[in-house]
Structure 1
Amino acid sequence: MKTCAAWIVLLMYLLCSCKNINIEDNYKSQYLTLEFKCSKVNNKTVEEVDSKAPYFPYGFKTAIYIFNSQTFWPHIAGSPIVATSYGGSDLIPDKEILLPKGVYDIYCVSENSPAISFLNIYHGIASGLVNGKDYLWAKREGVLLLKNEQVNLLFKHIASRLLVTVSTEESNSSILVNSFRITLPEAAANTLNLGDGTISPSAYTEQLSTIEGYGNTREILLLPCLAKLNFEFDAQVLTEGSSPVIRTFFGEINQQLIAGNSYELSIKIKSDLAIKIEVRGYPTNIVDNHIIFKSINN
């Protein structure tokens, strides 16, 4: 009798185990997982600011936001998800991504660096942007995920970049910049439209900020701005046959800084120590990335 009861218990256990395995298999069979692959196009000189490598450099990260198509709430698949480059073409998520078959909109935001910060997104509008970041953005909408799919994403720069160069007009003189300060856009006024990748420009500026660097050039990553930017810098001017002159120079940039553009600010010191300012703008390049959607059923 005891032997019979033991066999009944064992049989029931095996049936339950098989049922659990079948449930798990059926659950996973309804879901797809994602693999990420990327490549970077550096066919323009501005791309040298990002990296000379064809892929994202080792350790660079991107945040991935996934939504049901034509919605911005809620995030699904546990997004935002961090994916990291390890020096090759792969972007490796920090956790497995499982999605049921369906149609999705995918958005990516990167600081183009090893750092990652999650933006505050409310109905497709993101806040929490800061100056000093080279934001990259990409989207792919209406992704039909039924089997293995390859989705191409074009990452583009959505912040602004300002490259400052200070020099003298006269060949018999030179200058050494000791400190450079500028009024940056008021970041609290900038928001990102996740749907089209545009950052709204700020109409206000903050107090003067010191820009770190050496020599007579400075690179500034900043948010788009409508207001004029004031700058000042301490420098030593050396002229043949004259004593060195140490003074603070003042100027302003009376030009809108458009999202995604790179600007060159050329400051020339004349013989009478007046300054001549020239600003030129260039559209930045596009960064090409690929995401591969892989079914765990295949």
Structure 2
Amino acid sequence: MTTTNLLLSIPFLLLAATGCTTEEISDTPIPNEKGEYAVNFSGGLDMEQTKSGTTNLADGVKVTISAYAHDATETAIASGKYAASSGGFTGESSYTMYLARGSYDFYAVSCNSTTKEVPAFTKGTSSDLENGVDYIWAQAANQDIENTEKSITLGLAHKAVCIEITVKTAANSGIELISWEGDAATDNDNATIMPPAVTDCKMSLSTGVITPAAGVVSGVTASNMITTAVQGTSGYGNEKIATASYYILPLAKKDDSHSHELTVTFKVKVKIDGHDYTIANTNGESKTYTTKLTAPASGSYAFEAGKKYTYTATLKPNTISFTGATVTAWEEGVKESPLTPTEPEPAS
């Protein structure tokens, strides 16, 4: 009996000698086997230009987050793939970034997509970029890692350009917008745009700046815009409207050797006063409107990174006209003057 009491007393005395409770032990940061500490990330789209704070990315959006020694961008100390989740970023395959004590710069890059992979970077420069992608970027510079876990907040900013066009019919013009020509509301050729030619367009990791495209060249395949279904609205005197949007790479300032007109085409179904709509075409007749969207004349760019240019396209029986642009969620885009596009006379 005496021996048993002595053995039970030994661990109790050792615990008392340490002066540590179970609660105190659990509060102590636990590094990995290399003595590095975990780094966690949160954040979203930085909407500072509209004074609306930060908005979460959609759940599942792919983001690559990399850590570099402060003021260095050639070789990452650590880099991981993450997915957005309720305002935070969760490492793929349970990945957690660990870093030793020191000062670091963190960079996040994303295509703002749940499916599209983030471009790779070599010595601080991305692989070739493309039109049709909403590139977003963030930096958290000079962050100190001490002997504890670190939480980093990332405010991502748009680095491409968004073109958004509201399509409607003119009031009292004798034409009614019925629908897009195709059955699907998105990702088809109901609305297309001729984007800038991609000429060595890359992103700098340290700044997020994308080398602008030089211009628009003939022979480039038109890209499908993302469209919304035609719907009624009281905003235009109970007229029906739809939208078409597309992301382009920044476009350099106009010069004599490059075109900066983006050709857009809309395929819609309309009803025109005086036309006979029999049983065969009760949903209206198909019409195709084609015009050139002229780039702004002022500034260092024709279309500037991080800005959203929102226009209104007004359809008439035989013409289409544009007004805009207006300020939306991105920074303000300014168009020089109204456009004067035309369309061939319809077949009789």
- Once residues 262 and 51 of structure 2 are traced to their aligned partners in structure 1, the CA distance between those partners, rounded to angstroms, is 23
- Once residues 33 and 74 of structure 2 are traced to their aligned partners in structure 1, the CA distance between those partners, rounded to angstroms, is 24
SS in 1 for 2:327: strand
How many residues align? The count is 253
Percentage identity across paired residues of the two chains: 21
CA gap of 1:145–1:275, structure 2 versus 1, over 3 A, is same
Q: CA deviation at 1:39?
A: 5.5
Q: CA RMSD in A?
A: 3.1
**Structure 1, unpaired ranges of 5+:** 1-24, 48-52, 287-298
Residues 170 and 270 in structure 1, CA contact (< 8 A), matched pair in contact too: no
Question: Which residue identity lines up with residue 282 of structure 1 in the other structure?
Answer: V
- Once residues 163 and 330 of structure 2 are traced to their aligned partners in structure 1, the CA distance between those partners, rounded to angstroms, is 15
Question: Which residue identity lines up with residue 104 of structure 1 in the other structure?
Answer: Y
CA gap of 1:283–1:199, structure 2 versus 1, over 3 A, is farther
Residues 156 and 285 in structure 1, CA contact (< 8 A), matched pair in contact too: no
- Once residues 98 and 39 of structure 2 are traced to their aligned partners in structure 1, the CA distance between those partners, rounded to angstroms, is 7
SS in 2 for 1:193: coil
Task: Report what 1:260 is aligned to.
Answer: 306
Residues 63 and 116 in structure 1, CA contact (< 8 A), matched pair in contact too: no
Question: Which residue identity lines up with residue 267 of structure 2 in the other structure?
Answer: D
- Once residues 62 and 245 of structure 1 are traced to their aligned partners in structure 2, the CA distance between those partners, rounded to angstroms, is 44
RCO comparison, higher one (Cα < 8 Å, 6+): 1
- Once residues 31 and 125 of structure 2 are traced to their aligned partners in structure 1, the CA distance between those partners, rounded to angstroms, is 37
SS in 2 for 1:242: coil
Task: Report what 1:126 is aligned to.
Answer: 126
Residues 186 and 202 in structure 1, CA contact (< 8 A), matched pair in contact too: yes
SS in 2 for 1:189: coil
CA gap of 1:274–1:116, structure 2 versus 1, over 3 A, is closer
Task: Report what 2:266 is aligned to.
Answer: 233
Q: CA deviation at 1:109?
A: 0.7
1:196 maps onto 2:242 in alignment: no
Residues 160 and 259 in structure 1, CA contact (< 8 A), matched pair in contact too: yes
- Once residues 50 and 31 of structure 2 are traced to their aligned partners in structure 1, the CA distance between those partners, rounded to angstroms, is 51
Task: Report what 1:34 is aligned to.
Answer: 39
Residues 183 and 231 in structure 1, CA contact (< 8 A), matched pair in contact too: yes
- Once residues 275 and 108 of structure 2 are traced to their aligned partners in structure 1, the CA distance between those partners, rounded to angstroms, is 56
Deviates more, 1:59-68 or 1:239-248: 239-248
Task: Report what 2:192 is aligned to.
Answer: 181
Q: CA deviation at 1:183?
A: 0.5
- Once residues 26 and 45 of structure 1 are traced to their aligned partners in structure 2, the CA distance between those partners, rounded to angstroms, is 40
TM-score (norm 2): 0.63
Deviation by residue 1:187-236 (Cα, 9 ceiling, x = unmatched):
34321121122222212333222335343321212222242211122333
Q: CA deviation at 1:41?
A: 6.6
Q: CA deviation at 1:112?
A: 2.0
TM-score (norm 1): 0.73
Q: CA deviation at 1:258?
A: 1.3
1:207 maps onto 2:221 in alignment: yes
Residues 44 and 155 in structure 2, CA contact (< 8 A), matched pair in contact too: no
Task: Report what 2:288 is aligned to.
Answer: 248
CA gap of 1:144–1:116, structure 2 versus 1, over 3 A, is farther
Question: Which residue identity lines up with residue 138 of structure 2 in the other structure?
Answer: A
